Amino acid sequence: MRGAAAPDRPSFRLNPFAFPSDTTSRFILLLLFAIAASVLIWSSMAMLGLSLQAGFASCSPDMAATVNTLRDQLGIAMEHLQQGTAIPQAPTVDVAQCYRPLNRRILPAMAIGAGLLASFTLGIWWLHPRWLASRMKLSRLEDDDAPELVAALARICSEAGLRRPPEFYWNPLGMAPRALAYGRAGRYRLALTGAMAMRYSTDPPGFRAVILHELAHIVNRDIDKTWLAVGAWWALVASALVPRVALQFWIPFRWIDVAATLVQVAAIAGLVFVTRNAMLRARELYADARASVWISDSDAMAAALSALRPVRGVRRLLSPHPDPAHRLRLLEATDPLFRAGFWDLLGVGAATSLGAAIIGIVGANVGNVALPGAGWAFLLQFALPVLVITPLASVAAGIIIWRASFASLVRGTQPRAALRGGVAAGLGTVLGTMVAQAGGLPVWVAAGGPSTPPMMAAGMAMWATILFLSPIMGLIWVEAAAKTWIPIALRRTHRGASLKAAVGLNCAFTVPWFALAGPFLLALAVLWLLAPAIVGPILYATFNAFPLNVLGSFSVAATWGFPMAAWLWRRPVTPGIAEWAFLEPPRPALPHLTLPLAPGRSIAIGLAAGMVAGVMLGWVQVPWAPTLNLGVEQTPETTRFVAMMVTAVLVQAAVAALVVFAVSGVRVIQAMFAAFVAGNVLAIALCLQMWEFDPTLIVLCLQVSYGFIIIGGDVAALPSALIAAIIKAGWRRVGSRLGSRESTFTGSSPSQRVPRAAIVADG
């Protein structure tokens, strides 16, 4: 089939195994959903079964009073900050004490839920070979049974290069043609029905295609995941959903409880079922891709796939099998395996926030019961989700974007998955949070449905906004890094460690973004709502206090430094065609791929702008400066100093915007780099101004200003660069529509066409 491809079809297939597959990310997602769902259901069962709603409601603090107390305390703190005196410790009300007995009663239920899910899942995974053998009436296929069949199977196994062939089982009286790879922990089996087995003589190419497909599951290492996923679904049904429904018949009847049960059970069952089947579909597609490489006669593979039952309409989302038409298309081009699916990323977002919320609830319960002091409970509630969930989410979402970027770059188009994917992940994150918060509805109802203070509502709205925007920003950054590192890897014959390291580092770097930047921004936003005057001093104190100033500067440097570091590896030791990027020959050279970085230009603009602005800093400053706690008495000189720092921050924002218009490639990253360069020049220039008063002041000056200028500068440069990039993109779009720009394409086929506009000179 590939040989007979139409001229406008891609002449090469991308290697979907160059990156971790969707099967893995969907599997992790499913496990997260299942665990979160089980704990959530069992905690709601404890609430209903043990009638704990009223207890939780009575412990809930009066939200309006809490907001007022917080505002008063912040006002006092601000006064002390301005006077430079220590902030007095406010008396605290031990709410944790009130919750403790309730926590003690709800925790065992959560533990039972998690324990049952784990044991049922592992049990199904462990026992499935026996269950299948009984269900399919299988027996071991011995040499004596059918020597020619056994020989044919051995031959196919050696074609697949299996180090350890599976054990073959069969039911010679199975009348429907079926083949299935199964097993656990490295001991895999392949089951055949008689109807499938006889094809070794009636249809050898078709038989080979099916067996190779099944062997591909073994090579792709998806069998354990598959049976754990199947186990997780049935375990959830048996250990959580059925008991939840059964409980409803045991407790006193209330319509609200019945409605809540139905909604909860349907939502959770639907979510886990759809995720499980999405994973099962993905594994089939990857097995097809693997098998199609082994099968030189792709007509046989196409014939085997054509014989499968079609999956139409909405069943495509619900079926565990992909539509055969979709599978056939993969024989021509594997590009669909690289798409950043909207629903996949929505799922990642939902799993992240739902999982984080559940872990937070468990952490708070455990902390309050088992650890001394409310601080521990608070720490477990917020730190545990960050430590457990955020890395998983970063890896899952990050890999999806890397894959999509890879496909776009090889095909010669601009990667554009991050924005759409980020919106999906953001929506999912908000959705997951809402589902988790809905779990608190019974308590809210039991408390008499108290109104939410406007301050609290505004805080929640901000939190939702931050949750929505964080994945967008994070994934745009991931895409920028992929844009610079993938061309580097594509200049090498072998993928090597550099790409793996780049993907790993990229995912690791997004963790602080998701985990720390979001809560920090929320805290700032809430502070701004409660006491706007305190935000400036808090920011200054955060950016300039050791070690936050060092860590903060390092983090902002990593933001641009990681993508730009690709430039250092731009010349491969052994250049060649990137064989790893393609499934099979032909493996084309990719002349359109150039590094989208021009660091020389960014440095020049940053240095020049920094020096010009640095010289002018003594005369031109912003007319307004916030009151900051510099640790010295406030004088006109200190106010002027603060104004100069703020000016330095704003100059970096302007430099970032300028660079966006002056360079091509990954503009925002280069803009932030230029802003960093300018920031350093400005920090030195600012402190040189102190030289004329006292040369020894220069060190002190750098201590009190460097962190604020560099971190503040990058924080200001980011939105500035983004806005400039949006304006530039809009401008170019209008220009191209008016016909002022011409697009010239290279490449032999439309799908390989590379707009010249996308070709960027190496810096």
Partner 1 sequence: MAEVVDQELVADLARDLVGAIAPGELPLFGAMSKAWFADPGRVQTKQGDDVLAFGVAEAAALLSPVLLAAATHALNYAGEELGRNLSTASVAWLREQLRHLFHRQDSGVSLDAQQIAKVRAITLETARRFRIPKQKAEEIADAVTARFAPTS
The smaller minimum CB distance to partner 1, of residues 1 and 198, is found at 198
Q: Is 666 in the site for partner 1 (CB under 8 A)?
A: no
- Taking the complex as a whole, the smallest distance from the CB of residue 276 to partner 1 amounts, in Å, to 10
Which of 660-693 are b and which e, b meaning 16 or more Cβ less than 10 Å from the residue's Cβ?
bebbbbbbbbbbbbbbbbbbbbbbbbbbbbbeee
Among 48, 136, 481, 677, binds partner 1 (CB under 8 A): 136
| DSSP-H helix ranges across 440-453 | 441-446
Q: Which one of 146, 374, 525, 556 is in contact with partner 1 (CB under 8 A)?
A: 146
Under the criterion CB under 8 A, does residue 130 sit at the interface with partner 1?
no
Identity of residue 763:
G
Min. distance of Cβ 284 from partner 1 in angstroms? Answer: 8
Burial of 403 (0-12, 13-18, 19+ CB in 10 A): buried
CA gap 540, 525 in Å, rounded: 15
Q: Classify strands 167-171 and 187-193 as parallel, antiparallel or unpaired.
A: parallel
Q: Which is nearer to partner 1, 192 or 377 (CB)?
A: 192
CA distances from 213 to 95, 200, 292 (A): 59, 15, 8
Site for partner 1 in 147-166 (CB under 8 A): 148-149
SS3 171: strand
CA torsion 464→470→472→473, rounded to 10°?
150
Minimum distance between the CB of residue 394 and partner 1, rounded to whole angstroms? Answer: 31
598 and 664 Cβ atoms separated by less than 8 Å: yes
Query: Shortest approach of partner 1 to residue 29 CB, angstroms?
Result: 19
DSSP 663-715: --SSHHHHHHHHHHHHHHHHHHHHHHHHHTT-TTHHHHHHHHHHHHHHHHHHH
Q: How far apart are CA 380 and CA 135, in angstroms?
A: 46
Whole-number minimum distance, CB 23 to partner 1, in Å?
13
Residue 438 makes CB contacts below 8 A (sequence gap 6+) with none
By CB under 8 A, residue 650 contacts partner 1 = no
Minimal distance in Å, beta carbon 213 to partner 1?
Answer: 6
DSSP state of 459: H
- Select from 190-198, 387-395, 489-497, 537-545 the region that touches partner 1 (CB under 8 A): 190-198
User: Shortest approach of partner 1 to residue 271 CB, angstroms?
Assistant: 18
Instruction: Kindly report the number of other CB atoms within 10 A of residue 2's CB atom.
Output: 18
Q: Smallest distance from the beta carbon of 343 to partner 1, in angstroms?
A: 20
* Window 82-111: contact mask with partner 1 (x via CB under 8 A): ------------------------------
Nearer to partner 1 among residue 13 and residue 213 (C-beta): 213
Rg of the chain taking only CA atoms, in angstroms: 30
Q: Which is nearer to partner 1, 171 or 629 (CB)?
A: 171
- Min dist CB 222 to partner 1, Å, is 11
Site for partner 1 in 431-470 (CB under 8 A): none
CB of 546: closest distance to partner 1 in angstroms?
57
Beta carbons of 191 and 172 less than 8 angstroms apart:
no
DSSP 322: -
201 binding partner 1? (CB under 8 A): yes
Least distance between partner 1 and beta carbon 273 (Å): 12
Is 313 near partner 1 (CB under 8 A)?
A: no
Using DSSP bridges, classify how beta strands 745-746 and 754-755 pair: parallel, antiparallel or unpaired.
antiparallel
The 3-state DSSP class for residue 635 equals coil
Nearer residue to partner 1 within complex by CB, 19 or 207: 207
Tell me if 171 contacts partner 1 by CB under 8 A: yes
Tell whether residue 654 is a contact of partner 1 (CB under 8 A): no
197 touches partner 1 (CB under 8 A) = yes
The only residue of 132, 361, 531, 658 in contact with partner 1, by rule CB under 8 A: 132
Least distance in angstroms from the C-beta of 172 to partner 1 = 4
Between 191 and 598, name the residue whose CB sits nearer to partner 1. 191
Residue 497 near partner 1 by CB under 8 A: no
- 426: DSSP letter: H
Other CB atoms within 10 A of residue 69 CB: 15
Specify the residue, 223 or 754, whose C-beta has the smaller distance to partner 1: 223
The burial class, CB within 10 Å (0-12 / 13-18 / 19+), for 296 is exposed
E strands, 464-568, in order: none
User: Binding to partner 1 (CB under 8 A): which residues in 207-246?
Assistant: 210, 213-214, 226, 230
Tokens of 20: 């971790």
Does position 320 interact with partner 1 (CB under 8 A)? The reply is yes
Which three-class secondary structure state does DSSP give residue 140?
strand
When asked if residue 257 is in the footprint of partner 1 (CB under 8 A), the reply is: no
Site for partner 1 in 281-310 (CB under 8 A): 304, 307-309
Q: Which helix (H) or strand (E) holds 287?
A: helix 255-294
Encoded one letter per residue, x for contact with partner 1 by CB under 8 A and - for no contact, window 721-740 reads --------------------
Number of residues engaging partner 1 in binding (CB under 8 A): 40
179 makes contact with partner 1 (CB under 8 A): yes
Nearer to partner 1, 203 or 579 (CB): 203
Among 4, 6, 86, 175, binds partner 1 (CB under 8 A): 175
Q: Which stretch binds partner 1 (CB under 8 A): 13-21, 192-200, 427-435, 725-733?
A: 192-200
Out of 145, 257, 299, 332, the residue judged to bind partner 1 by CB under 8 A: 145
Query: CA dihedral defined by 273, 277, 280, 282, rounded to 10 degrees?
Result: -130
590: alpha, beta or left, given left = phi > 0 and alpha = psi -120 to 50? Answer: beta
- Selected binder of partner 1 within 20, 194, 440, 453 (CB under 8 A): 194
Peptide bond connecting 471 to the previous residue in cis, omega within 30 degrees of 0: no
- Asked if residues 609 and 650 have their Cβ atoms less than 8 Å apart, the reply is no
137 binds partner 1 (CB under 8 A): yes
Q: Does 280 bind partner 1 (CB under 8 A)?
A: yes
Question: Which residues of the shown chain bind partner 1 in the complex (CB under 8 A)?
Answer: 132, 135-137, 139, 145-146, 148-149, 171-180, 182, 191, 193-198, 201-202, 210, 213-214, 226, 230, 280, 304, 307-309, 320
